[in-house]
Amino acid sequence: MRRVVVTGLGTINPLGNNVSASWNSLINSKSGISKITKFEVDNFPCKIAGLIDDAEINSEIVSKRDQRKIDRFITLGLIAAAEAIKDSGFSSTDESSIRSGVMVGSGIGGLDTIYKNSSILDNQGIRKISPFFIPSSLINLLSGHISIFYNLKGPNSSPVTACATGTHAIGDSFTIIKNNKADLMVCGGAEAAICPLGISGFSAARALCDTFNDQPEKGSRPWDKDRSGFVMGEGAGVLVLEELSHAQKRNAKIYGEVKGYGMSGDAFHITKPSEDGNGGYRAMKMALEESQLNPDQIEYVNAHGTSTQVGDMIELSAVERLFGNNKNLFMSSNKSAIGHLLGAAGAVEAVFSLMSMQKKILPPTLNLENPDTKSNINLIPHMSITKPVKNIISNSFGFGGTNASLIFGL
């Protein structure tokens, strides 16, 4: 059976513009949440988000000129991909290119570009619409740009499954390699939907936090009694996956192995998770079965944990159902520090999961001051802990009832 390993990591997110910087901020309990300043928010119920400062965007990777031709989600994805591919040490040749592919998705894609061009059309007319409008907005153009730049001629696709996108991209890439359709895949997710239309839309759905506008860093608080919704973030996470012997032949650094992948559907509601948590439970169980691990071999859960009233407790109950209400199990939410990166969330959290195994540190759940649960599971409040772990499960659940889980191991 073909085994799949991770040989490259890349990210840009509200905590930093690379893996090292963002990881160090995460484990030191830093928050990337701040007040939105890029547009006027006085009349918005939610005024905070996990933002990336424009100064953090490396113009040596994506020039200022090229940034004007593509949506921000593509720019962020290209930056994360550049780091991951450099980290992997892989260079495509004519021979290897047809066995090397790309699968980087997005939940919403070029929303801000669509918003701006709609306004231009209404106010200035059709002649002012950019010829780059369509290719800069399409979600699959991120995979397209990566493929072109790095000469990757294998499978080329971009999943769009709301907040499960990044996890599905990694899981589907794992399956492609396992089934001998490719030897290497560049995979993950990118998102940049913090714009007037994006914040307005999620606010109208009553999904966003609107109670900590004066204390932005306190807004994302999974499992806390005072949580009132998620805080939107932006960024990208990219992994390089390889078939084990392919990686070994070129003496690649190996961060860990993808051991299992599960996915399911709730068939319940367009935005709310199924109240019994069965969808998330089945996704985790499927991943566990593929990994051939026992439940007690999973030591840490990198939770979906969005800081919503309903979703947090449903996920926790599903975890307890599968793994037991076990004080030896650790679980935390990266979203407490970076916000919810929508289609990029699962990919960035996969990067952090692999770093947790490599560095033997489990990151904290920030702002967990008054837990809304009596669970024995250690939710790692406030401060990271030092703990070696061999097997981690990472969850992502999205609108439309789509669920995905990945198991990484050493």
Catalytic residues: 163, 304, 340
Structure tokens at 385: 């802990």
| CA distances in angstroms from 189 to 35, 63, 124, 227, 231, listed in the order given | 24, 21, 34, 26, 18
Who's near 144: CB < 8 A, 6+ residues apart? Answer: 156
| CA distances in angstroms from 96 to 3, 55, 100, 150, 152, listed in the order given | 18, 36, 6, 11, 8
Residue by residue, what is the 3-state secondary structure of the chain? CCCEEEEEEEEEECCECCHHHHHHHHHCCCCCEEECCCCCCCCCCCCEEECCCHHHCCCCCCCHHHHCCCCHHHHHHHHHHHHHHHHHCCCCCHHHHCCEEEEEECCCCCHHHHHHHHHHHHHHCHHHCCCCHHHHHCCHHHHHHHHHHHCCCCCEECCCCHHHHHHHHHHHHHHHHHCCCCCEEEEEEEECCCCHHHHHHHHHCCCECCCCCCCHHHCCCCCECCCCCECEECEEEEEEEEEHHHHHHCCCCCCEEEEEEEEEECCCCCCCCCCCCHHHHHHHHHHHHHHCCCHHHCCEEECCCCCCHHHHHHHHHHHHHHHCCCCCCEEECCHHHHCECHHHHHHHHHHHHHHHHHHCEECCECCCCCECCCCCCECCECCCEECCCCEEEEEEEECCCEEEEEEEEC
Residue 43 identity: N
